[in-house]
Chain A
Amino acid sequence: MKKTHSHDWHPLFWWLWACAGSVMLLRNSRADSSWIIALSFSIILAAITLTRQFPLSSSSRRLLRLGYIIALVATGFRMIIAITLGVPMPGRVLFQLPQIDLPNFLVGITIGGPVTSQRLAGAMSESLVFAGIVILFATANALTTPHRLLRVLPSRLHGIGLATSIATSVAPQSAESFTRVRQAHRLRGRQLNSWNSIGRVAVPVLEESLERSIDLAVALESRGYGYFQSPSRYRPEKWKREELLLLSSFAALVIVSVPSGSTSLVFSLFAFFFLFAPGLFA
């Protein structure tokens, strides 16, 4: 069966897919850092290629981009901290940073100083694991929509459902109105590079999102959301064979990787292939 749209998949599938990828990354974090780097890169690559396989709406694309930015900034930040701060590590010295002397009670911790190959590799692998997890969930979020997830959740959670649907529809819409309002302000002839001009854009954007949230809450109320005891499903979401097959392969891969605790090039390739597998149905 061809699944041309990521929405044809069970809404939980993509979240489980992201979980499987994260477990693969985390289970192996004690292994040799060069393999972790290889594994992280292949998983990130699988996630990015997947998002190119399926059509995405402009708002989910925007959210995905936000995810990438968060991953990038966090990785950079993590790298800087890991390189400059820590205990001295053995290995070949790559370059020298100016060292700051610390008081005596902080024996063994240095700021700056020689940067060895091992420290660089360690910092990189840790940051990449984090970036990988952020990117996996950003991808899952772009490929499903929270609205659909809402529909497979138990109906008793209606208050949570209401809050989630408001929050999730407001976030991408606010991103859209932010772009629009910013543009309008530049047309008012205002340079928008200073900090105090942020308020000028934020006020109309926040007002609009508040208005939208209220509109949505009123609309849900008018449609009787949460007033009836036993909601039903128009087209119940069912697990399909290929989805179950893929999920069980993820599980197998995770289980295999746990006791060995090691990674290899073969494992990275496997991880890449399995995580990319849904793209073969696109």
Chain B
Amino acid sequence: MIDFKEVSLIYPGSERTVFDRVSFSVDEGEMVLVIGHTGAGKSSILKLINGIVPHHTHGILNGDICVDGRSTKDHKPGALSDLIGVVSQNPLHGFVCDIVEDEIAFSMETRGFTPDVMRKRMEEVLDLLSLSELRRRDIRTLSGGEQQRVAIASALVTQPRVLLLDEPTSALDPIAAEEVLAILNRLVDDLGLTVVLAEHKLERVISFVDRILLIGDSGDVAFDNTRAILSYSPIAPPLVELARVVGADEIPLSVREFRKNSFDIGVMEPRKASSNPSVIASLQDVTVIYDGFNKVSALRNLSLKVHEGEIVAIMGRNGAGKSTLLKSFLGLSPVISGDIRIKDVEPLKTSTEAISTLVGYVPQDPSDLLFATSINEECAISDEDHNLQAGTTLAIYQDLMDIPNVNAHPRDISEGQRLGLVLSIVLSRSPSLILLDEPTRGLDYEAKRSLVEILKRLSSEKNCAIVISTHDVELVSELAGRVIFVAEGEVVADGSTREILTASPAFAPQVVKAFPNSGALTLNDVKKLLSKRVGR
């Protein structure tokens, strides 16, 4: 279906060869996962398939790519649109209409389908993606998972034979992600659709895919079945790492497969509760209402306390009020009633600039904070802003991670490095509370590991409290000591990570699912248990 023949790609002005004489072919009805480090070229592969590269971006392409016999050299993306449906990384950017039904119809309208065909297809696709009840809704009021489904519906409604998806679940909570993936799986089974998707969170997708395309760092790719690739790939989900640690004979693709091995690793001793540290931040009966056409209450009488040296993860479905909760610590959400305190300061009665010395906030998109043309300049401005000795921020950055060239433009460095830069700017004021809103979007396993290390070090060395809102259960299991579960603006569960994550099947990390009764939460726990067995 998709043939790459000796494809090479470089971007002008860049020294790196993205692909160097790459050849592979994807069969019809196959589901293929594209993996690689951030910036390795996952998106480029998808864009090459439908000709966005090189027709829309100025990449230099050699070799030939054919989709169903049509070469992307002679066919522009629009001319391939009857064959290929595309769901982009951020579907909200690509929506043209306001209403769900209009958006889905738009793809058919541009192709000139007759009204009766459109009617029929519309009903089919709405049913297929369970969107019937949302058909008259405004797209912008839908949750992330629903928007993703609308994007898939508008790509599928013209009945393409290939579907390309760029990180379809990265912004979704685990439940919404499962829904979207189950639908994709059904489409491949029922319609014989060829699906190519790029995704960082492998634990969510590997049980569905047939083959994996692994992009190396030097322009080479490996294309083989899932098990073969995962047996050596440096990028692997926790389950595969687990299998490597316990020495399973076969690479498991699902928790069920892993459990068949019936390993016994013993039981962990419960961790001792730490002594009572002092409270850094507290919310007392906080109610937040957003003023809209229908008054929506985002938080309802919510109370919680955050202590010194604690790492707290706020979890919950999309739209449960996680971001609002984080902003409440800063006094930035429209608080109707309640009391907020950071140490002795009341954010509701203090200017935002004054709060920033106490609370460091890393927004969902770290680049919101960046405006300078180089890392050096960005750090210098941070020092100047806060009357710090020159070089302070840069020193913090260097301490956090191996930093790239200081003259590089902040837009050109990797997501992980950008997050580190913003974090060092925030840390230069030595805040006692650090808030991070969904920091792992777009981070690969390696970048996530380094983030976990950094944050753990901060909480133990500086003794500051860290509150992080995230969908990433694997990150939470590695990082947080305490989990607060939010639903509909209320705290529905609050307790130790072990307690909360093992209680909910949808939010359980893979290690917990693999060893449900061992009390182990992370790979390190398993390693510890194993070494104890050997020692005995």
Give the B-binding residues of A (Cβ under 8 A). 7, 55-59, 145, 147-148, 151, 165, 169, 177, 180-181, 183-191, 199-201, 203-204, 207, 211-212, 215-236
Contacts and interface: CB of A to CB of B under 8 A. Distances in A.
Contacts of B361: 184, 187
Contact of B79 (A186, A215, A227): A227
B98 A147 contact: yes
A22 to B, nearest CB: 26
A187 B352 contact: yes
23 contacts: A147-B102, A151-B97, A177-B368, A184-B368, A186-B356, A187-B330, A187-B352, A187-B356, A188-B382, A188-B385, A190-B385, A215-B90, A215-B93, A219-B88, A220-B94, A221-B52, A221-B56, A222-B52, A222-B86, A224-B79, A225-B78, A228-B110, A234-B108
B371 A227 contact: no
Contacts of A224: 78-79, 81-82, 107, 110-111, 158
Given A147-B98, A215-B94, A219-B94, A234 B363 contact: no
A112 B97 CA distance: 52
Nearest to B86: A222
Contact of B112 (A57, A151, A183, A232): A232
Contacts of A199: 371
Given A184-B368, A215-B93, A189 B353 contact: yes
Given A58-B292, A180-B363, A221-B76, A7 B99 contact: yes
Nearest to B114: A232
A226 B78 CA distance: 8
B96 interface: yes
Task: Give the residue among A7, A151, A228 with the most B Cβ atoms within 10 A.
Answer: A228
Contacts of B188: none
B353 A191 contact: yes
Interface string B330-374: 101000000000000000000011011101010100011111000
Contacts of A151: 97, 102, 109
A19 B330 CA distance: 46
A223 to B, nearest CB: 5
Contacts of A227: 76, 78-79, 81, 110
Contact of B110 (A7, A57, A211, A223): A223
Contacts of A220: 94, 96
Nearest to A205: B368
Contacts of A59: 140
A228 B369 contact: no
B193 interface: no
B78 A232 contact: no
Given A223-B81, A231-B109, A234-B102, A186 B353 contact: yes
Interface string B410-422: 0100000000000
Given A231-B110, A232-B118, A207 B385 contact: no
A12 B346 CA distance: 51
Nearest to A162: B96
B84 interface: yes
Contacts of B79: 224, 227
A225 B356 contact: no
A232 B93 contact: no
B293 interface: yes
Task: Give the residue among B90, B93, B106, B107 with the most A Cβ atoms within 10 A.
Answer: B93
Interface string B243-266: 000000000000000000000000
Contacts of A177: 368
Interface in B267-298: 292-293
B288 to A, nearest CB: 15
Contacts of B52: 218, 221-222
Contacts of B50: 222
B78 A212 contact: no
A11 B292 CA distance: 24
Given A189-B357, A189-B429, A227-B81, 8 more contacts: A148-B97, A188-B425, A190-B353, A204-B371, A220-B96, A222-B86, A234-B109, A234-B122
Task: Give the residue among A148, A187, A199, A233 with the most B Cβ atoms within 10 A.
Answer: A187
Nearest to A158: B110
Nearest to B47: A218
A135 B34 CA distance: 52
A216 B292 CA distance: 27
B116 to A, nearest CB: 11
A228 B112 contact: yes
Contacts of A183: 332, 352
Contact of A207 (B102, B105, B113, B367): B367
B369 A188 contact: yes
Nearest to B141: A57
B367 A216 contact: no
B115 interface: yes
A167 to B, nearest CB: 13
B434 to A, nearest CB: 12
Contact of A230 (B99, B102, B112, B411): B112
Closest 7 CB pairs of A and B: A219-B94, A224-B81, A234-B105, A227-B78, A189-B356, A215-B93, A203-B371
Contacts of A219: 86, 88, 93-96
A161 to B, nearest CB: 10
A218 B112 contact: no
Given A204-B370, A212-B93, A145 B113 contact: no
B139 to A, nearest CB: 10
A184 B356 CA distance: 10
A145 B371 CA distance: 32
Contacts of A226: 78, 110
Contacts of A228: 110-112
Contact of B96 (A147, A189, A212, A230): A147
Contacts of B369: 184-185, 188, 204
Contacts of B114: 232
A43 B216 CA distance: 66
Contacts of B536: none
Nearest to A177: B368
B326 to A, nearest CB: 11
Nearest to B363: A184
Contacts of B115: 232-234, 236
Nearest to A59: B140
A250 to B, nearest CB: 26
Contacts of B82: 224
B385 A235 contact: no
A55 B429 CA distance: 44
A189 B430 CA distance: 12
A57 B438 CA distance: 26
Task: Give the residue among B101, B110, B425 with the most A Cβ atoms within 10 A.
Answer: B110
Interface in B360-402: 361, 363, 367-371, 382, 385-386
Nearest to A235: B105
A180 B429 CA distance: 21
B6 interface: no
